[in-house]
A and B are shown apart, each in its own frame.
Chain A
Amino acid sequence: MTDAAWIDAALTSARPQAVGALLRYFRNIDTAEEAFQNACLRALKSWPQNGPPRDPAAWLIMVGRNAAIDEVRRSRREQPLPDDEAISDLGDAESALADRLDGSHYRDDILRLLFICCHKELPATQQIALALRVVSGLSVKQIARAFLVSEAAMEQRITRAKGRVAQADLPFETPGAVERSERLVAVAAMIYLIFNEGYSASGDTADVRRPLSEEAIRLARLLLRLFPGEPEIMGLTALLLLQHARSAARFDAQGSLILLDDQDRTRWNQPMIAEGLALIDKAMRHRRSGPYQIQAAIAALHARAARPEDTDWTQIDLLYGALEVVQPSPIVTLNRAVAVSKVRGAQAALDLIAPLDGRLANYFYFFGVRGALLMQLGRNDEARTAFDRAIALAHSSAEAAHIRMQLDRLMRDSSAAQAEAGQ
């Protein structure tokens, strides 16, 4: 790896802690970001010459803070600026000083920074954009590309989000235990949103959006390192890893979605699966279940099955049942129906989803599942109606193509059946 690449990785990894600490000093996101930016520019000059500091985050915090304070002084009194060397030359004082300033705070600094991004008043898309910009440090251009909007539109979205956050009361006091755990829940949900922005992308957009999933995994690991004993954060990280492990097998050469049953399981990422399974093992020991752990446990059962027919559907059905209790939602029931169809047959699954008709009337996947179940029961006309509805509701060409494939199979089967009947 080149110097530049190493420095780049070091700056990226130090960013959440450094911006979080600078935000605590300056209590303003823009000032904190500018100070960090300023420190990064100095790092690019100083590190290749003097070697990287022992603690890059501490270095960036000190340099960013000093530079910003000097900026304020200069604008007030027009004093001559100290030169770069004086600002950046922190020597051995750097680590000790930064430790004293930050050691006890940095965990809450990072959590606060993430928490601010998922402010209740921000719509999900703004939360994600703000977090990717402020915490992850992606450029507006990169974020705009992932969201398929123009750079100007994304710039505006982020500026608006920052404006709303600035008007709200930023929570700067050290949080108590209850407040801290509420923040964790909100931040975990936002990280999952970021992940899904990448994961739900298909076909032509999958490549540009995959980095969002990778970034979400990085943030989840970061959060877990800050709160190593939180089973739900272990569950979240495990869930993201186990789902992302399948990414190489999820699309065919044309960009169409490949269902779990049809995926080439040798293309699943084994180290990622190993990490996910290790985390879910650790989480279970705490005996404090939660929605992320349950979903991760379901993903783990899929990951453990070398062939689709080895899948423990009975256990998956039970886990979805548990998920319905802690997080009731028609989508969860719909997912459960797939497991039920494997354990108790298509009719039982159809009965389970029948009451969801009204609430999922505009949900592509609902009609896809219903069509597949009807097809298994040989109710081909009804199946065709369901598939037609699914195609009408599809969000992407990959989704539509996938349903069309099932429709084709249906046509083939029924014409084959007719041919047989005619013989």
Chain B
Amino acid sequence: MLYALLCYHDEDVVCAWTKDQDEAVMAKLAVVQEKLIKQGRLGPVARLLPTTAATTLRKEDPPLVLDGPYAETKEQLLGFYIVDCANLDEALEVARELGEANPGGSYEIRPVGTFRPGGALA
């Protein structure tokens, strides 16, 4: 079963990381990702730009375009992983491993309903 691991973290804190701290976290995450790739379990991964770059389209009539993310929250959606796991326990295990590499914030673990990998982008 595919699970989406949605990464939430306080954006202000992540923006306060120094370049070195940021790179150190990314390097540790890469180790975990590499392992999942070797096991053939890692789908698309994305790190999102800050919510200041976000725009929201409210589907009203006519649709309303707003600056900023959809919801004002203490922690913001900063990225996601799609991982193939047998069950919730396995997905939690992956989240724990990623969490050790990148402490603070939370992962929301959501089973994926429909998944279309789309065409190759890069």
Give me the interface of A with B, judged by CB distance under 8 Å: 1, 5-6, 9-10, 12-14, 52, 54-56, 214, 218, 221-222, 224-225, 228-229, 234, 237, 271, 274-275, 278-279, 282, 285
Is B37 an interface residue when CB atoms closer than 8 A count as contact?
Answer: no
Inter-subunit contact A13/B13 (CB<8 Å): yes
Those of B13-48 within 8 Å (CB) of chain A: 13-17, 19, 21, 24-25
Inter-subunit contact B15/A282 (CB<8 Å): no
Give me the interface of B with A, judged by CB distance under 8 Å: 10-17, 19, 21, 24-25, 49-53, 55, 65-68, 74, 102-104
B112, chain A: closest CB distance, angstroms: 26
Inter-subunit contact B24/A13 (CB<8 Å): no
Chain B residue contacts of A54, Cβ below 8 A:
74
Inter-subunit contact B53/A1 (CB<8 Å): no
Complex-state Cα separation, A156 to B50, whole angstroms: 37
Contact of B50 among A1, A12, A221 (CB under 8 A): A221
Question: Closest residue of chain B to A52, judged by CB?
Answer: B104
Total of A-B residue pairs, C-beta within 8 Å: 67
Contact of B68 among A55, A56, A228 (CB under 8 A): A228
Inter-subunit contact B12/A14 (CB<8 Å): yes
Inter-subunit contact B16/A12 (CB<8 Å): yes
Chain B residue contacts of A275, Cβ below 8 A:
49-50, 53
Inter-subunit contact A6/B53 (CB<8 Å): no
Question: Closest residue of chain B to A286, judged by CB?
Answer: B67
- Besides A1-B103, A225-B51, 14 new A-B residue pairs in contact (Cβ under 8 A), listed by A number: A1-B25, A5-B21, A6-B13, A9-B17, A10-B10, A10-B16, A10-B104, A13-B10, A214-B19, A221-B52, A228-B68, A229-B66, A274-B49, A275-B53
Main secondary structure of the interface of A (DSSP, over half): helix
B105, chain A: closest CB distance, angstroms: 10
Contact of B21 among A1, A224, A237, A271 (CB under 8 A): A1
Which of B16, B25, B50 neighbours the largest number of chain A CB atoms within 10 Å of its CB? B16
Chain A residue contacts of B11, Cβ below 8 A:
225
Task: Check A222/B12 contact, CB under 8 A, given A6-B103, A9-B17.
Answer: yes
Chain A residue contacts of B53, Cβ below 8 A:
275, 278-279, 282
Complex-state Cα separation, A13 to B104, whole angstroms: 13
